[in-house]
């Protein structure tokens, strides 16, 4: 079974959604599976005069997936592409559509100190201060008509 594949030169990190490519060098070729189809790690053979050693990414519309790949030349014109699925870019639309609570971030200005995820250590000390208040010049005693002011967090 032969199918079209698009070979690309990826310039982004593997753990990024929305990868960058050198689009001027994209080529479309026809390939065949070397053995039975493994959707996550396919091995593809391509007969071409083109040097594929600079390519590191492949899109296979037949499988509806995108792959990282390593090209190996078997003979003069026969190339074997060992691929591994790029989960982030293959399922990027579904990942971006998910709503999630991000509990940790590398950016210090985005930390939510009100969410306790266990990574921020806090300390609480009880501070109690007593003040004797005067009522008509004499110390106020408990049990009489006295107002008490309690301040928390201030």
DSSP class of residue 46 equals E
Average pLDDT over residues 83-110: 83
Residue 140 structure tokens: 């106020």
Average pLDDT over residues 65-77: 89
Domain that holds residue 32: 2-95
Across 43-79, b (16+ Cβ under 10 Å) vs e yields bbebeeeeebeebbbbbbeebebbbbbebeeeeeeeb
Average pLDDT over residues 44-68: 91
DSSP class of residue 94 equals H
Residue with more model confidence, 137 or 95 = 95
Residue 46: pLDDT band by 50, 70, 90 thresholds? Answer: very high
Number of domains in the chain: 1
For the entire predicted model, the pTM comes to 0.64
Give the pLDDT of residue 58.
Answer: 95
The helix or strand, by DSSP H or E, that contains position 118, with its residue range, turns out to be: none
Going from the C-alpha of 142 to that of each of 24, 36, 112, 151, the distances in angstroms are 85, 88, 43, 19
Q: Does a structural domain hold residue 33?
A: yes
Q: Does a structural domain hold residue 67?
A: yes
Specify the range with the lowest mean pLDDT, choosing from 26-30, 57-61, 150-154. Answer: 150-154
CATH number of the domain within which 65 lies = 2.40.10
Give the pLDDT of residue 147.
Answer: 62
Average pLDDT over residues 145-154: 65
DSSP class of residue 77 equals S
Average pLDDT over residues 3-13: 92
Q: Does a structural domain hold residue 119?
A: no
- Mean pLDDT score of the chain: 82
């Amino acid at each position: 079974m032969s199918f079209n594949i698009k070979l690309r030169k990826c310039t982004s990190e593997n753990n990024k959604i929305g990868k960058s490519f050198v689009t001027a060098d994209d080529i479309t070729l026809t390939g065949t599976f070397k053995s039975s189809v493994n959707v996550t790690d396919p091995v593809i053979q391509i007969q071409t005069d083109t040097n594929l050693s600079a390519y590191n990414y492949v899109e296979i519309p037949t499988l509806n997936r995108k792959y990282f790949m390593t090209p190996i030349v078997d003979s003069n014109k026969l190339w074997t592409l060992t691929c591994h699925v790029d989960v982030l870019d293959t399922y990027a639309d579904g990942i971006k559509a998910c709503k999630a609570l991000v509990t940790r971030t590398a950016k210090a200005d985005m930390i939510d100190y009100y969410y306790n995820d266990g990574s921020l250590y806090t300390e609480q000390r009880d501070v109690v201060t007593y003040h004797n208040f005067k009522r008509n010049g004499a110390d106020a005693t408990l049990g009489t008509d006295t107002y008490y002011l309690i301040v928390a967090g201030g």
